[in-house]
Structure 1
């Protein structure tokens, strides 16, 4: 039977778990890898990879370390926490490309509302 670890874990530690998950996600994106690819390399399921990146506190330390090793074998957990990954530094320093949506040209007809425009 599994227990809900969040009930037994102090709030500050839950926040730390979320931060570790966010750093793993950033590292994965910086390395240009998919969750599926990283999960396969780490020997975990994709659903576990999702939970790791969300900072799920019930994931094991072994899973976190294997996922980290799959992303950057030379990087330690302490190095991840201290932002010592060169890939992440380059990723964070790179200029961000923003998509610009041009307004649709008027055809004189009443345009239909875009169902994806919220």
Structure 2
């Protein structure tokens, strides 16, 4: 009976440790590079909701995105990402997208803006 109690206590301590570890792990913010990867499908949707997609241009394929250093003067908290995209027209270009902190939102909530090419990067960085 005594050994059964010891096993039960060991299981409870192990389960408690697991729960605490998972709790603290869920509280930390994701690495910005991870956020770029997580937001890739949302960036595709953001692009396809814009004016270029209304003209028939769609993102067929998007390579693994990378986080890009945000230049000085950009909106505080902005996470800038890029991925190489192949469009429905057959053209290939860089798809730039940014995770912009939501105004008045909780920490970790972002809006996504996406645009192709160097002009797209400039328009994203011009966000205020």
Question: Do Structure 1 and Structure 2 share a fold, with TM-score over 0.5?
Answer: no
Using structure 1 for the length normalisation, give the TM-score. 0.27
Instruction: State the structure with more CA Rg.
Output: 2
1 or 2, which has the higher helix percentage? Answer: 1
Higher strand share: 2
TM-score by length of 2: 0.26
